[in-house]
Structure 1
Amino acid sequence: MYEGKHPKKRYKITQDFLKEVLPENSKILDLGVENPFSEIMSKMGFEVENTKGEDLDQDFTSVQESAAEVVTAFEIFEHLIAPYNILKEIKAYKLVASVPLRLWFAPAYRSKSDKWDRHYHEFEPWQFDWLLEKSGWEIKRNITFTNPVRKIGFRPFLRLFTKRYYLVYAERKI
């Protein structure tokens, strides 16, 4: 299931986390267009629907009209200018989300060739926790983890032991 050049460690950790926090056959709305991990979730037995590429800073229709019981957002919120707004609009009562962590040795990611593939935010765990809490979510479980890259250099060396991702399971506060 972790074939090709996809991030094997990150996918495995995320898959194991989903198995821990979600019942089998959960109906999921995955924020973002269909991607390799949404295919993995489908193979795991989840019923997965993706958003269509709309601007989630301005268009909340997908989360407002979805009948999914779970929303997943894997490396999505860092691309939004105001993730608070869509988090408030989600109708599902469960959320599984991951964000890249701010690294002291690297600037925020900014693609030189794609004006949309940029990180407006890179979070520290407390910042993402606060964002979730202020937007009506209660964190039930969270983990941080590394995701080393197969390159030589100072930054790749630091990524061997520096936590790079933050993964959270939260439920809507009642």
Structure 2
Amino acid sequence: MKSNEELRFKRTYELLSRFVSTDEIILDLGTPNELSSFLKTEDYKIESAFGFDFDLEPEKLNEYDYGVLTAFEVLEHLVSPFPLLKNTKATKLIVTVPLKLWFAKAYRNTNDPYDQHYHEFESWQLDMLLDKAGWKILHREKWIAPTGFLGIRPLLRKITPRFYAIYAERK
């Protein structure tokens, strides 16, 4: 069975390639990672935004040259993603976030203040946030996150959507 990471990677790439051409310039929120490296091998023009606090300085995103903004499991780490989403100069947006699960607490890493989830969204909450920030959702899907472990929680993860993915354009 493929790992959860491999499945998310594949689904994220399929979503991006469906809505974004290799001619467009992408700004990805967060540090360079395996997905952004892979996208470069597929001829995507992608740059990673990092090195500053998106909550405190969202306007810094507009110092980059881009038309597409991607946030692959980043928004849940922000106290308030609204200013960033409202003021970005992007005309296209692809977002993935973890969904709030009734049987698991929000992710928290007590050793790293940045590696924690301030939000775990219900799908309607992300929809409302994007609408209020001036985005029209054109596609949405939910993904499960199966594990290879035995037990009640792993069983629930095989049938309960864990990730929410959206493609949106400026209204």
TM-score, with normalisation over the residues of structure 1?
Answer: 0.92
- Of 22, 35, 39, which aligns to 2:37? 39
- Of 148, 167, 170, which aligns to 2:168? 170
On the 8 A contact 2:24/2:67 being kept in 1, the answer is: yes
On the 8 A contact 2:98/2:164 being kept in 1, the answer is: yes
On the 8 A contact 2:4/2:146 being kept in 1, the answer is: no
On the 8 A contact 1:136/1:172 being kept in 2, the answer is: yes
- Of 15, 18, 21, which aligns to 1:20? 18
Of all paired residues, the percent bearing the same amino acid is 42
Instruction: Provide the C-alpha distance between the structure 1 equivalents of 2:50 and 2:14, rounded to a whole number of angstroms.
Output: 26
Moved more, 118-127 or 153-162: 153-162
- Cα 1:112–1:151 change in 2 (3 A) is farther
On the 8 A contact 1:78/1:99 being kept in 2, the answer is: yes
- Of 91, 106, 110, which aligns to 2:89? 91
On the 8 A contact 2:59/2:84 being kept in 1, the answer is: no
Partner of 1:72: 70
On the 8 A contact 2:142/2:165 being kept in 1, the answer is: yes
Instruction: Provide the C-alpha distance between the structure 1 equivalents of 2:9 and 2:158, rounded to a whole number of angstroms.
Output: 17
Instruction: Provide the C-alpha distance between the structure 2 equivalents of 1:69 and 1:115, rounded to a whole number of angstroms.
Output: 30
- Alignment-mate amino acid for residue 118 of structure 2: Y
Cα deviation digits, residues 37-59 of structure 1 (max 9, x gap): 11121122111100123110011
Moved more, 67-76 or 109-118: 109-118
Q: Any gaps of 5 or more consecutive residues in structure 2?
A: none
TM-score, with normalisation over the residues of structure 2?
Answer: 0.94
Deviation at 1:114, TM superposition (A): 1.4
Cα deviation digits, residues 134-160 of structure 1 (max 9, x gap): 001110111101021222222111111
SS of alignment partner, residue 109 of structure 2: coil
Partner of 1:155: 153
Work out the number of aligned pairs and report it. 170
Moved more, 59-68 or 116-125: 59-68
Instruction: Provide the C-alpha distance between the structure 1 equivalents of 2:123 and 2:46, rounded to a whole number of angstroms.
Output: 27
Partner of 2:136: 138
SS of alignment partner, residue 111 of structure 1: coil
- Alignment-mate amino acid for residue 160 of structure 2: T
